[in-house]
Structures are given as structure tokens and as C-alpha cells.
A and B are shown apart, each in its own frame.
Chain A
Amino acid sequence: MSDQNTATPPPKRSFMQSLEVDLRLLGMVGAFLAVCVVFNVLTDGRFLTPRNIFNLTIQTVSVAIMATGMVFVIVTRHIDLSVGALLATCTAVMGMTQTQWLPDMFGFELGHPLIPWITIAVGLFVGAVIGGAQGWLVGYQGIPAFIVTLGGLLVWRNVGWWLTDGATIGPLDQTYVLFGGIGGTLGAFWSWVVGIVATIIALFAMWSARRAKTGHGFPVKPMWAEGLIMGVIAAAILGFVAILNAYTVPTRVVARDPSLFGCEVAEGCVAAYGIPYSVLMLIAVAIVMTVIALRTRLGRYIFATGGNPDAAELSGINTRLLTVKIFAMVGVLSALAGIVASARLGYHTNDIGTLDELRVIAAAVIGGTALSGGIGTIYGAIIGALIMQSLQSGMAMVGVDAPYQNIVVGAVLVLAVWIDIQYRKRVGTK
């Protein structure tokens, strides 16, 4: 037991090995940047403007939130085709709650400060219950997830229609719509505060992880590599904040009510949007889901079940209950995405979230989640969603017709999975 630590000096390692960076992450980020640069050239520099980047992020949020949950579903070898329809039912419930049920049945006046929060709680609860029920059918009754959620796709899309009599519901509560994007942002000062705090937390987390490793006598990467990665992360966070802060509120908007932007008069008043609340929500979801995946028993069991369901069961893991939990999580995330989607529109419409299930699955898969189970990352799914949205917005800006856009997105989906398979073959992992 004495010589368990490597006594021999570690073999010489290449630059990339020293960094210990996931090459697939690097590949995805590279692909995303390539898409951005190509469109930037094609649009004569209109793609990589603060304004377009701002729009890109708020357009991605809804799909990205659901994609983080889809990762867990696909990792456990299931699929969820119902997320878009589930989103519609949740927004229908939330729309009705805030505009009719609360005011009519419980006597809340429109604009009452509790309305948005009760609405959101109701929406998340409905998402959890529907998702959990679908999970119960899959886990305990043994119906394939494909069938349960294909049924769900038809059922929930039209339950939403039934609840609203097919009508568009709105306008929605003033506080509620702040979660939509451009209407609710932090402003320059608080964006910087968030950015700096996030940077400090990220660097501290990396440093304490390194200390925990050395505490057990495990090998760690060289100091320069650690420093370089810390530098890149800090630059990425602060750079992102700087870009969002560089998108200033148009003067005619400021002119409507200068006091909102901290100015006395509209003249010479410059205000920045900063980080939208919806993007903050996505970041929070991403952190929570990543912690679940990597640092909790729940996450460990999700990946173990995906890798070998029999082994998981023989290890005493309740895989049936696990399935219920995963689908309930997706339900909650669909409701959360529904908040963002309906708040962005300002209305609940019948067709909200249509085809989102396919975008969400594609985002997860482009992000490296394997349909054979056991493999997938949260950050991958978010980058996947970003790539999809960039392609679509970019093509729209270039003036590609909608049918051609779909042809390209479909081809990219297949291509991305093919590249991933080739990569895994080469490095010899499944």
C-alpha cells in the first residue's frame, strides 16, 4: 500500500494533454465560432455585433433550458418527444392563471404583485406533475418512452388548446414578461457585478478542486496550464458581459421614459441592456444541472443506468423511480422554458413551442449526447442549442429561404453526429 502514488516522474506530455481540456468541448466551441465567423463575413459584419449576439442569446434560452434536461433523458436511453407540447400546456396554464383564474376566481386585481409568482409556481408544478406522470408510465409500466411521449406530443399540444379554447392569451403580467429577454435586463452596472462575482467563484472553484486533488496526492496539471485555463475562463465571462453591455438601448426607447435608465433627460443619455434575466436563468439552470450530473448521487445513478441498466439495478439503484425523477425534471424545465418563451412574445399562443422537441433533441445530440446512452454533457447541449440558433438566425440574415434553412439544419445535425462517431472511433471510446 506504500507505493500507490506514482513514484516515477510523469511521462512528457504534449501541450494539449497538459491542459487536460476536453477535446470534444474544444471542437464544439470551434464549430460554433466557425459558424459565427462565416456568417459574419457573409453579412458584412452584421452577425457579430453586440445587438445580434444579444438577440442570439435570448433566442437560444428556451431551447437550451429544455436541452439540459433532455441530456439526462437521452443518457438513460430514453427520449422525450413531448417537450414542445408540454411547454404549450404549461404556458396555457400560466396564461390562464394570470389573466383569468387568479383575477376571476380569487379576486386578484390585474397587476397584483403576487400574480407572476403564483403563476410561475403553478406552471412549474404542472410541468413536474405531467413529466412525472409520463416518467411513471415509462419506468413503472414499462411503456417505451418513445410511445409515451409521442402520445404526450398529441395530448399536451391539444390540452393547451382546450384550456384556452384555442384563443391567444394576453397581454401577460408586466412582471412576468420581464423573463422574456429584451424587456428585462440587469443594466450595465449589475451586469458587471454579476460578471465579476461569477469570475471570482469560477476561479475559486478551480483552485479548491486543485487543492483537493493535491490533498489526496493525485497528480495535477502544471501551474502554467491551470493559470492559462483560468485566464481563458475569466476572459470568456467578462468578455460576454462586455459584449452584452455594449448593446445600448436605442435613443427613441430611452426618450420614452429616461428615468427608467437613470437619466433626467433623454438628451445624451446612454444606457446598456446588459445581461437579460432569461440568460441568467439559463446560466443558473446550467450550473444546477451540471452539479446534479457530476456531484450528486442522482447524477451518478443517471449515468450508471445509461451505461448499464442491469448493473445499476443490481447495485441497488431504483431505476424506475429514477426514470420518474428524470421526466419530472424535464417537465419542470419545459415549464421554465415556457415562461421565457411566452414572456418573450408577451402572449400565450396555440402554436408556441411547436417543433421545439426536435430542436431540443437536436441540440442535445449536436452537443455530443449519445442516443445509445451513458454519455452526454450539459454544456454540450447548450452549445448545441447555440449552434442551431446561430445557423438559423445567420441564414435568415443572409436571406436564405426558410425551406433551405431547414435543409441545412437537418444536414448539420446528421453531420455533427457522424463527426462525433468518427472522433470516438479514433480515440477508442464508445
Chain B
Amino acid sequence: MTTPLVEMKNVSIAFGGVRAVDNVSIELHAGEVVGLLGHNGAGKSTLIKMLSGAYKMDSGEIWIEGNKVSINSPRDSRDQNIETIYQTLALADNLDAASNLFLGRELTTPFGFVDDSRMEAETRKIMARLNPNFKKLKEPVSALSGGQRQSVAIARAVYFNAKILIMDEPTAALGVHETEMVADLIKELKAQGLGIFLISHDTREMMELCDRVSVMKNGQMVGTERVEDVTEDDILSMIILGKNPKAAA
């Protein structure tokens, strides 16, 4: 077996006595989509926020491509080519699409000033690929629709040639057509060899897009299965009962 792209080993984090993630291990390979399922508060978002640097884990290890790394901030995570699309999108509403896309990584002129024209041109290019209908480049993102805002957040993750992508409910705010576009994009990125963690509540969508699914409950890992080996009902019972029917059998 090849070295996993990401390996989180025995990670735990507690918030004031609540063990939000309790001794969880998970791995992700290149060209693979791993889905995280579970009820609200199961610890899915918390788990991936430790990978994206938003939270600092209390114990455990993170290995990227066979090297142990320490991720203490979002910047550390980005340095490991990990990009995250947050459930809240994490956009600065008062800035335009280009400023958001390059936030924290602005293109600059030789004098060190931000190069708005070049950033806008780059934004036009990537938007033409992701969402050809996107035209409101000059307006603050607060003036955009939910789908358009989502495509800004996705563009930000895709633009910087990530190796590892974390998508926290990327389709929650989207219509049918836009959801399909995101699904196509996930398949395309997977074919390019990215590893993707996907969080969603939509079990059917997960069965279609993911190679493996991991189910969490109360901060613990219930089990990880290849999607070919399980039915939707198996997954649902894992989510609800917190038991792996295959392990029990």
C-alpha cells in the first residue's frame, strides 16, 4: 500500500470538558474522496478544522505524505497545500471576489503594492472555468447570490493548486444545477490526483461521489467502509446507532 496523502492518528480535542473529537484516526490517499458522515455535533467539522489549522488538537499526530507535520494555524495548513472550503464560506463580505480569492496571498507589483488588475484578470480566468455566468467582479461579495458566493469560495480553494482539499458541506446552499456543477468539479479534481475530504448530510450524494465513507458519532469514529461494500441503509444505521453492522456481523 502506498503512503497516504494525509494520516491523522489518534487525534483528540476537548472544549471545556466536552470531548468533541476523541481518539480518531483517518487517512486519505491521492485521487481519493473520503466522505465524513454523522449527526450535527458528531465532530466531523471539528476533525477537519484541526487539519485546516482553525483548531489546535490536544493530542495526536498528523502525517502528510509520510512526514509528521505540526499544524498550528491556517497558514501552516496552507503551506502543506491543504485548502479548505468552510461551511460558512469564510468570505469578507465587504470585499470583491478577487480580493477574497487572494485574501492572505495577494499578488503584488514589484514595489510590493497589491496588484488588483492582475488579481481581477486571474479571477476572471478561473471563474470562466468554474462558473461561466459569474459577472459581478467589481461588487462586494455581499451583493452575490448564494451560489455565486459558493463559487468564489471554491475558486479560492482550487486556484492555488491544492493537493488536499477539505469541503465542508459545499452544496448545502446550492440549487440542483449548481450542486451538479460541484459534483463534476469534485470528480475532475479527483482525476487530477487530489485527495478530498467531503462533509455532507446527503447520504445518496456521498455514495455517488466518495470512494470511502467514515461515520462519526459523539466525537468517535464508528467505522470507515468502502462505498461498494455497504448499502445506504448500512450507513444510516451507523449514523443513527453508532455501530458498524459489518463489524458486528
Using a CB–CB cutoff of 8 Å, the interface residues on chain A facing chain B are 1, 3-4, 212-213, 215-218, 291, 295-297, 300-301, 303-308, 310-317, 374-375, 428-430
Contacts and interface: CB of A to CB of B under 8 A. Distances in A.
Contact of A307 (B73, B86, B94): B94
A303 B94 contact: yes
B74 A216 contact: no
A308 B99 CA distance: 13
B128 A1 contact: yes
B80 to A, nearest CB: 12
Contacts of B113: 291, 295-296
B243 interface: no
Contacts of A315: 74, 90, 103-104
A4 B128 contact: yes
19 contacts: A4-B125, A216-B117, A216-B120, A216-B121, A218-B121, A297-B106, A300-B99, A301-B104, A303-B94, A304-B92, A311-B90, A312-B92, A313-B74, A314-B52, A315-B103, A316-B104, A317-B104, A374-B93, A428-B143
A296 B99 CA distance: 12
B115 to A, nearest CB: 9
A213 B117 contact: yes
B78 interface: yes
Given A297-B106, A374-B92, A1 B129 contact: yes
A429 B139 CA distance: 10
Top 6 closest A-B pairs, CB basis? A307-B94, A374-B94, A307-B92, A315-B104, A316-B75, A311-B90
A161 B104 CA distance: 43
Contacts of A307: 92-95
Nearest to B86: A314
B73 A316 contact: yes
Interface string B72-88: 01110010000010101
Contact of B91 (A296, A308, A428, A430): A308
Interface residues of B, number: 37
A52 to B, nearest CB: 38
B142 interface: yes
A300 B114 contact: yes
Given A216-B117, A311-B90, 11 more contacts: A4-B124, A212-B117, A218-B117, A300-B99, A304-B103, A308-B91, A308-B94, A311-B88, A315-B90, A316-B104, A374-B92
A380 to B, nearest CB: 15
A312 B94 contact: no
B226 interface: no
A311 B100 CA distance: 9
Contacts of B108: 297
Contacts of A311: 88-92, 103
B112 interface: yes
Contacts of B106: 297, 300
Contacts of A306: 94
B116 to A, nearest CB: 8
A314 B94 contact: no
A317 B73 CA distance: 10
B68 interface: no
A297 B103 CA distance: 9
B11 interface: no
B91 to A, nearest CB: 6
B140 to A, nearest CB: 7
A428 B143 CA distance: 8
Interface string B196-235: 0000000000000000000000000000000000000000
A215 B117 contact: yes
B90 A1 contact: no
Contact of A430 (B94, B114, B120): B94
Nearest to B109: A295
Contacts of A213: 117
Contacts of A297: 106, 108, 114
A3 B124 CA distance: 10
A378 B142 CA distance: 22
A315 B140 CA distance: 17
B159 to A, nearest CB: 13
B92 A303 contact: yes
Nearest to B129: A1
Given A300-B106, A314-B74, A430 B142 contact: yes
Contacts of B89: 311
A315 B112 CA distance: 19
A264 B215 CA distance: 94
Contact of B140 (A215, A313, A429): A429
Contacts of B118: 216
Nearest to A217: B121
B114 A295 contact: yes
B117 A312 contact: no
Contact of A316 (B78, B124, B129): B78
B70 to A, nearest CB: 16
A303 B103 CA distance: 11
Nearest to B106: A297
